[in-house]
Structure 1
Amino acid sequence: MNLPLTDLQKNKLKVLEPRLNRAINEQNYKFAKEIVVDIQSILRPTKHFVRLVQSKNKLCELAIELNDTKYALSLLNSNILVINKNTRIYLETVSLLAICHLRMKDVEAAKKYIKEVLVNHTVIKTDRTREIFHYEIINRFNEEVALATLTGYESFYLDQDDIEKEAIRIIQNLTEDEIFSQIGKNSPQSTKDLIYIVHDYSTKQLTFTERLALPSPDQKVKDKEVGLTIFESVKRVLYNSLCNPDSEIYKAWFSNGLQLVLDKKYIVSSVVSCLSGIGFGVSMIAASIVALITKFGIEVYCVQQKPIYVSEIRNK
């Protein structure tokens, strides 16, 4: 049973929890870890495990974003031991375990958690809410497996000048739909194969009615669908660099508009830097991503492509 929090503890949490959210949004990993330790020092002795796991899960999702999957896996496995299975926070934790294993390219290990997430009908009791959750979490699973197959190429070099030239050619000659299809065409077969496997396995856990409302595995690996999945998958890597109001590119866009951003090569340099950091291995796809962001514009991209975190899906 929880012990009552003192006024002092409540006041500390009122400061620490918003501070953690800011650190997560800014991807300040070191600071986020320190804040979670402070939150834990308050909530663990009082046995407020649900509230503590909520904070720890946020840190885990950031760890996954930054490819510190071993740390995330260890923390998630400890989180799952202290919470009730019939709660939304448990569903969130299991979802993150699936995502973590997918990011580690371990699809077989992820299947156990994917199934547990999708066959659980006791936590989200409303059919419509559960359908929305299933749709969005399955999309997240697909995005994770796509990203996992395209990253980790430490020796691969993305040439900024070549990518810029190709992006300009794409912008001048292709529509948005054609660019998404081109991403799919340039994707390795291994990406399409694993998207198929994960989507097929995920949808088989659903009711017949739910399955009918979702694309089939065959539809999911068509070029345009694969392109959309990949574009969605990289936004978690790119968003903070492009959309942080304090970043150089964001300030330049809102102060001086598109031309300065293009002249200074902000978009291509940001995208290349972020993708190189995770070992992204397909330069033609990188050029298409640059082209799409340029076509959308930073303002539209930052509104439409804001990442949805697992806790936000769970709480919809």
Structure 2
Amino acid sequence: MIENIPLSKVQKERLTILEPQLRSCVKTADLNRAKKITAEIQELLRPTCHETRILQAKNWLYETALEAGRLTYAKLGFEGTIQKSSSRTRLHLEAISLLAICYLRENNLEKARGMVARAVGNINNIKSPERRKQFHRRLIQRLEEESILVGLKSEITDSLILEEVDYRAIQLVKMKSENEIFAEMGRAVPQRSVDLLQDIRSAYILRLPGPDRKMLLPPITEENKEALGKRASSALKRVAWRAVCCSDSDIYKAWSQGLSVVYDKKYIVGAIVAAFTSASISVMMVAASAAALAIKFGAEVFCEMYAPSSLMIDRKDKS
């Protein structure tokens, strides 16, 4: 790719506005907005042949599509990035990793394992040990979270009953500490989620060089219900956060307008139940635990703590 033309002042100023706006679309899963912003970035950068930066913007677009449930669109996009980028670049690695997540979401475990193996092999191209450790930890955590979500979605039996979830959530708030709520959620995670989590982690470690295995956090075990609950809660934030905190949600609109309805605990539980139902998650104690955490923290703290994060790492991001 020919990218030897320096960015102009106008380009830099526009990108400082457009790129953060595009990254924020991943949290909200706002695909239409992401498409418009990506088109603006492409129009801005195409005349000066900054193709790599355009591909980076498109990765944000495809990750937004992934979060919006548009998996075919996302897969085709990531496959395009993989074809157009050097195998030694972070851009290529991120596209492979996100494509693995697309296959996990589809419950296509064979292809997911294959893409995980490719991703692990490509992480070795990251020369900085700290950055390599950062990416390993972020990727394995995301894969474990996605495994939990797949397992939860496969356990569809009865619909969630708002009154029952509300009662259980209020009892959890009154009777349990934060860590005890996480343990309750861990106990409610179905066996399929646990098995899939362990399957994907094994596929990951199988391809990992010995020295790099030390970079991973300890495995989540079935016996440690609190740790399992925390990982499940981290996975479910992609559902619960949008129900409570996304600017398009009824709760967020009421909250931002200072309406007293947001202090009605059942209103918060109802939003989370609706979001879980839409995501085909019907495990009652998982929904009740998620609602209890939202009530216990309060909307402002919950929205800050549980905002969904992207797999892609910004240059300034050290976490």
Q: Do they superpose with TM above 0.5?
A: yes
| C-alpha distance after superposition, 1:106-158 (max 9, x if no partner) | 12211222122223354321222211221121000000111122126788522
Q: CA deviation at 1:102?
A: 1.0
Question: How has the CA–CA distance of structure 1 residues 246 and 277 changed in structure 2, closer, same or farther, with 3 Å as cutoff?
Answer: closer
Q: Name the counterpart of 1:142.
A: 144
CA distance in 2, matches of 1:67, 1:44: 29
Moved more, 8-17 or 294-303: 8-17
CA distance in 1, matches of 2:230, 2:127: 30
CA distance in 2, matches of 1:143, 1:254: 30
Quick one: which of 162, 165, 175 aligns to 2:167? 165
Task: Give the letter for the 1:141 counterpart.
Answer: L
Question: How has the CA–CA distance of structure 1 residues 264 and 192 changed in structure 2, closer, same or farther, with 3 Å as cutoff?
Answer: closer
Task: Give unmatched runs, 5+ long, in structure 2.
Answer: none
Q: Name the counterpart of 2:178.
A: 176
Q: Name the counterpart of 1:287.
A: 288
SS at match of 1:157: coil
Contact 1:146 1:194 in 2 (8 A): yes
Contact 1:9 1:42 in 2 (8 A): no
Task: Give the letter for the 2:300 counterpart.
Answer: E
Task: Give the letter for the 1:199 counterpart.
Answer: R
Contact 2:155 2:190 in 1 (8 A): no
Q: CA deviation at 1:237?
A: 2.2
Q: CA deviation at 1:66?
A: 1.6
Moved more, 190-199 or 295-304: 295-304
Quick one: which of 63, 87, 90 aligns to 1:88? 90
CA distance in 2, matches of 1:247, 1:121: 37
Question: How has the CA–CA distance of structure 1 residues 98 and 23 changed in structure 2, closer, same or farther, with 3 Å as cutoff?
Answer: closer
1:60-139 aligned at under 5 Å gives the runs 60-139=62-141
Task: Give unmatched runs, 5+ long, in structure 1.
Answer: none
Moved more, 174-183 or 83-92: 174-183
CA distance in 2, matches of 1:15, 1:288: 37
Question: How has the CA–CA distance of structure 1 residues 154 and 185 changed in structure 2, closer, same or farther, with 3 Å as cutoff?
Answer: closer
Q: Name the counterpart of 1:312.
A: 313
CA distance in 2, matches of 1:220, 1:44: 50
How many residues of Structure 1 are paired with residues of Structure 2 in the alignment?
315
CA distance in 1, matches of 2:115, 2:46: 26
Q: CA deviation at 1:202?
A: 1.5
CA distance in 2, matches of 1:47, 1:156: 54
Moved more, 300-309 or 246-255: 246-255
Contact 2:221 2:228 in 1 (8 A): no
Task: Give the letter for the 2:312 counterpart.
Answer: S
CA distance in 2, matches of 1:222, 1:56: 39
SS at match of 1:310: coil
Contact 2:137 2:217 in 1 (8 A): no
Moved more, 76-85 or 104-113: 104-113
Contact 1:136 1:313 in 2 (8 A): no
Alignment TM-score, normalising by the size of structure 1: 0.85
1:1-316 aligned at under 5 Å gives the runs 1-2=2-3, 4=5, 10=11, 16-41=18-43, 43=45, 47-151=49-153, 156-212=158-214, 214=216, 217=219, 219=221, 222-244=224-246, 248-250=250-252, 261-263=262-264, 265-312=266-313, 316=318
Contact 1:63 1:72 in 2 (8 A): yes
Moved more, 267-276 or 152-161: 152-161
Moved more, 193-202 or 179-188: 179-188
| C-alpha distance after superposition, 1:238-263 (max 9, x if no partner) | 22332246755346557869x85342
Contact 2:185 2:289 in 1 (8 A): yes
SS at match of 2:83: coil
| C-alpha distance after superposition, 1:66-115 (max 9, x if no partner) | 21111111111111111111111111111111111111111221122212
CA distance in 1, matches of 2:124, 2:214: 22
CA distance in 2, matches of 1:12, 1:199: 41
Alignment TM-score, normalising by the size of structure 2: 0.85
CA distance in 1, matches of 2:46, 2:256: 44
SS at match of 1:80: helix
Contact 1:60 1:75 in 2 (8 A): yes
CA distance in 2, matches of 1:44, 1:255: 41
CA distance in 2, matches of 1:23, 1:12: 17
CA distance in 1, matches of 2:200, 2:212: 16
Determine what percentage of the aligned residue pairs are the same residue. Answer: 33
CA distance in 1, matches of 2:155, 2:191: 16
Contact 1:272 1:286 in 2 (8 A): yes
User: RMSD over aligned Cα, in angstroms?
Assistant: 3.1
CA distance in 2, matches of 1:111, 1:223: 26
Q: CA deviation at 1:207?
A: 3.5
